[in-house]
A and B are shown apart, each in its own frame.
Chain A
Amino acid sequence: MTVAAHRPARLAPWGLALGGFVLIGVAFLVGWQLALVLAVWLALWAVNVGVARTTAGTWAAPVLFGLTLLILWELTVRLFNVPGVILPAPTQIAVALAENTNMLRADFVQTVLKGALGGWLIGSTAGIATALLVARSDFLRRGLLPVGNFVAALPIVGTAPILVMWFGFGWESKAAVVVVMVFFPVLVNTVAGLADTTSMQRDLMRTYGASAGQDLRYLRAPSALPFVFNGLKIATTLALIGAIVAEFFGSPTFGLGFRISTEVGRLNLPVVWAAIVVAAVTGSLWYGAIAMLEKRLTFWHPSQRGRG
């Protein structure tokens, strides 16, 4: 391999290990806690380098990376005696999660199922329906796309106080905030998607004598799907943010946003983090569910074909 000979020399594995030991040694001068944290980190990193090379690496490496973060978090909090008011350890959060299951379940139902999911369904449906209407007119499309893009970039969370004033403190106002936040990204993406056909494809539909409905059913809707899913995925995170932030402006005495803001006031950080864990896990599962649906429905799209 003559080419390899000309490449810049790479550090041998033992060189990297030596560098690691030197680093740990230097850290030891600062304090044994720092050295221990560094040593654990480098050891887990080294294991992960090995894991990433195996065939299981695609799923094992990110899992190990997440575990590494958790272990380092726990170690740092315990070794440096970080006060629980600033950052509770993962185990403390887990305990808080287990102790307050019922309370958090009520919060979950209020914020996620009623506020976020309800608003997301209404907003996305309205966005897609409006896009279907708009896409029939080129004039409307040219006018609405820039306006929609502009509105989608605005700090719409700011409408939360207005909508809470209009719809009251219940979940309806949270759903309304979510509807407003979700509508434009879905609308813009769907309109862009419905326009994403080549003239060749449209001409083919015309030679088949396809009606407007058939044109939509067999050409425009399928080609719009990847865009629609893109919008829906953006909307999932926006929906959770909207529902939680809207609760800061007034809510009944339960809900994830209410829980976070009141428990922060009482400096009861483990419960706050437990509420955040609920929100984060929900967000990830929701996003994952949409991504899976996307994979089922748009398996033919280049962005889906490359992977496993």
Chain B
Amino acid sequence: MTDTQISAPGAGIGRSGRVALAMRGMHHRLGPVLAVVAALIALWYLAAIPMNAQNSLMLAEREGIVLTPATASERRNMSGFALTLAEPSQAVARAFAQDRPRLPSPHQVLAELWDSTVNQNVTSKRSLVRHAGITLAPTLLGFVIGSLAGIALAVGIVHSRLMDLSVMPWAIASQTIPILAIAPMIIVVLNSIGVQGVLPKAIISAYLSFFPVTVGMVKGLRAPSPSDLDLMRTWNASATRTLLSLRLPTSLPYLFTSLKIAVAAALVGAIVGEFPTGAVSGLGARLLAGSYYGQTVQIWSALFGAAIVAAALVAAIGLAQRVTLKRMGLS
């Protein structure tokens, strides 16, 4: 990147002033974020040394290296820190390349992620892309159902005093029910009456995503100022017309903000919905299978796969938000 000033001659060539401004903003915002992320990764590497020390020293002993606490039984009751201090060189040297580490190091997770996405055929059972796709279907279906239900409920709450009084407290109470706890039951019960596949998981996703949308939309639909509402009244607009022409457009910024929360919640619902079905396919199943077989690297890569999917979904809605609000002249 050159350091041409925006106002300097020739600054507009190659990249416009607006892009340059955006880059400056990036620089201002990106620096601290990168620093924090780098610090977290460094911490992660540091933590891997004591976490894996027990295993590192066992591997060293197998190769015939003489250690200070000589046998495994002597080491069993020692903490990871104590072991690291006792045999620093061995603990550090072997912490980052184990087969089944207690805490895999970042590059191992990245390598596994790369291996299970790029190096695998999409149809392969080991492909994380396939598993992510399987989890994505109920996520999106549940998200759509939940969002539509949330919007409908919000419209009802805004238009009916009775619904506002009676439904709203119960909508809040419904969220204190740990739905994820009911997830296995919903799956098993629906399974017993013949409903299988995407729908049961989508129901859990929908339940998790309807609430943020309801709360956000109630706020959004009430956002028009009294003078705007009075204007609609002077035009003798019906409630439906006011809803369509005034309330819904005004509520869009609120809608997008809550949709972002809702889609993240929907993904959590879909992942947890996979736990009770016995770990066949999907990101949640990869997590469960990894925990059954002690494949820590697989668990972490599934976790990061889920994180990437969540980030992509939130980013997609963020993009839709920016485009829509710009078109409407609201941003």
Contacts and interface: CB of A to CB of B under 8 A. Distances in A.
Given A165-B102, A244-B180, A272 B170 contact: no
B268 A155 contact: yes
B203 to A, nearest CB: 14
Contacts of B264: 153-155
Contacts of B226: none
A85 interface: yes
Interface string A81-98: 000011100000000000
Interface in B265-312: 267-268, 271-272, 275-276, 283-284, 287-288, 290-291, 294, 296, 299-300, 302-303, 306-307, 310-311
Nearest to A3: B233
Contacts of B175: 237
A149 to B, nearest CB: 10
Interface stretch (B7-15, B28-36, B71-79): B28-36
Contact of B192 (A8, A66, A85, A248): A85
B68 interface: no
Interface string B68-96: 00000000000000000000000000000
Nearest to B234: A3
B32 A62 contact: no
B306 A62 contact: no
Nearest to A244: B181
A147 B36 contact: yes
Nearest to A265: B188
B181 A279 contact: yes
A147 B310 contact: no
B185 A65 contact: no
B179 to A, nearest CB: 8
A224 interface: no
Interface in A139-154: 139-144, 146-147, 150, 153-154
A260 interface: yes
Given A52-B161, A61-B166, A66-B170, A158 B102 contact: no
B314 A264 contact: no
B176 interface: yes
A79 interface: no
Nearest to B183: A245
Contacts of A283: 176-178
A140 B181 CA distance: 36
Nearest to B275: A248
A170 interface: no
A245 B181 CA distance: 6
Nearest to B233: A3
Interface in A109-164: 139-144, 146-147, 150, 153-155, 157-159, 161-162, 164
Contacts of A153: 260-261, 264, 310-311, 314
A6 interface: yes
Nearest to B173: A284
Interface string B15-33: 0000000000000010111
Given A140-B36, A157-B268, A264-B188, A162 B296 contact: yes
B110 to A, nearest CB: 17
A65 B170 CA distance: 9
A158 B306 contact: yes
B85 to A, nearest CB: 20
Contact of A158 (B32, B189, B236, B303): B303
Interface string A250-290: 00000011001100110101001001100110011011000
A158 B271 CA distance: 8
A154 B306 contact: yes
A179 interface: no
Find the residue from A64, A69, A236, A260 having the highest chain B CB count within 10 A: A260
Q: Which of B32, B34, B291 has the most CB of A within 10 A?
A: B32
Nearest to A281: B176
Interface in B146-190: 161-162, 165-170, 172-173, 175-182, 184-185, 188-189
Nearest to B34: A143
Contact of A276 (B170, B177, B188): B177
B181 A276 contact: yes
Residue in B168, B178, B275 with the greatest tally of chain A CB atoms within 10 Å = B178
Given A143-B36, A267-B188, 19 more contacts: A52-B166, A62-B165, A65-B166, A69-B170, A140-B36, A143-B32, A146-B29, A146-B33, A153-B260, A155-B264, A165-B296, A240-B181, A241-B178, A241-B181, A248-B184, A248-B276, A276-B177, A283-B176, A283-B178
27 contacts: A49-B162, A61-B165, A62-B165, A62-B168, A64-B166, A140-B32, A143-B37, A144-B32, A150-B311, A153-B260, A155-B303, A155-B307, A157-B272, A158-B271, A158-B283, A158-B302, A162-B300, A244-B180, A244-B181, A245-B272, A248-B276, A257-B181, A260-B181, A264-B276, A275-B181, A283-B177, A284-B173
Interface of A: 6-8, 45, 48-49, 52, 57-58, 61-62, 64-66, 69, 85-87, 139-144, 146-147, 150, 153-155, 157-159, 161-162, 164-166, 236-237, 240-241, 244-245, 248-249, 256-257, 260-261, 264-265, 267, 269, 272, 275-276, 279-280, 283-284, 286-287
Closest 10 CB pairs of A and B: A143-B32, A283-B176, A161-B291, A65-B166, A143-B36, A61-B165, A142-B32, A280-B177, A244-B181, A153-B264
